[in-house]
Amino acid sequence: MELGIGMFGDVSLDTKTGKYRDASIKLNEILEQVKLMDQVGLDVFAMGEHHRADYAVSSPEILLAAAASITNNIKLASGVTVLSSSEPVKVYEDFSMIDLISKGRAEIFVGRGSFIESFPLYGYDLSDYNQLFEEKLDLLLKINNEENVSWSGILRRPMENQTVYPRAFNNGVLPIWVAVGGTPESVLRAAKLGLPLIVAIIGGRPKQFKNLIEFYKQEYLRAGHDESKMQIAIHSHTFVSDNQDVIDQYFFNYKSQMDRIGRSRGWAPYTKEQYDGGRSKEGALFVGSADEVAEKINDVKEFFGLSRFIGHMDVGDPSHDIMMKSIELFGEKVAPQVR
């Protein structure tokens, strides 16, 4: 069972000035936080990709490369690479370089993207949303497994016996996970390809996802893949503090970001009742004391048969000192109870 922390690089809004917090400060805080994750023995760090004013990271690859130079053991992943609006050749090249710098610690989580800002930004048509992902994943997997690539699709020019360098540390192959938000078609695609699955569970009750994960297991085996190589993870909002005042105050960080996203998606304002419900034993928020968070992770580990849990820990941009303490508790108190 591997334990990791994910981030999107949230930057909070100063309501008095109407300006977001300095991205430079945030980026350097993240690097300090990743260094601490490595020191407390966590297994994975996953960095998300966004193209909005309220997130500091548009290129996970750049931040992960910086993290590779200051860490020794922790795996470094995108969480996620929005593959539909990315160039697969460049994705492989960037992550193979991170892999070489880190001596084999790079991973790619690929997804279609629940935020769509990158599509018009990079000149893609949203009507091609599904086909872009299918084609680009096919090409990325081809590049990952073959040094000389011949490939053809519909939305991208073909490749004819072209080489992609540099090759990744472990015989040119990078671990590639498929990240999904609950769409059965996405789960089926991952299962048929025999790729590891990571499911974002950020609302409702985790147990509602039981059928989806069982569907993945069934189709993975039906496709003839080796059961011993099956890997399943979930990614959920997480925050750890043994100080109840900090947990209570974190509601306001969480609400600020949920409401900011929600305004563009037609959501009702986030409430304290939702927060408390999410923190309950059956809820999808892994927010609480070290013992409470460890107990909830152990529950989902057994319920789903997980090989990895990623706690998304910077929603609403908590202060750096509180983040550092949360990471410390996750590594030193939560992780031993789960392992």
What is the band of 112 on the pLDDT scale with cuts at 50, 70, 90?
confident
What would the two tokens of residue 141 be?
Answer: 């997997």
pLDDT tens digit string along 18-71? 999 999 999 999 999 999 999 999 999 999 999 999 999 999 999 999 999 999
| pLDDT of the residue at 322 | 98
| Exposure letters 268-277 (e unless 16+ CB within 10 A, then b) | eebeeebbeb
pLDDT tens digit string along 159-184? 999 999 999 999 999 999 999 998 99
| pLDDT of the residue at 172 | 97
Contact (Cβ atoms closer than 8 angstroms) between residue 39 and residue 9: no
Predicted confidence (pLDDT) at residue 113 exceeds the cutoff of 80? no
* Burial of residue 310, with CB atoms counted within 10 A of its CB: 0-12 exposed, 13-18 middle, 19 or more buried: buried
Predicted confidence (pLDDT) at residue 114 exceeds the cutoff of 80? no
Average pLDDT over residues 115-142: 91
- The pTM (predicted TM-score) of the whole model is 0.96
pLDDT tens digit string along 237-291? 999 999 999 999 999 999 999 999 998 889 999 999 999 999 999 999 999 999 9
| pLDDT of the residue at 137 | 98
What would the two tokens of residue 136 be?
Answer: 């680009």
Average pLDDT over residues 9-17: 93
Contact (Cβ atoms closer than 8 angstroms) between residue 305 and residue 256: no
The topology under which CATH files domain 2-338 is TIM Barrel (3.20.20)
Average pLDDT over residues 126-143: 94
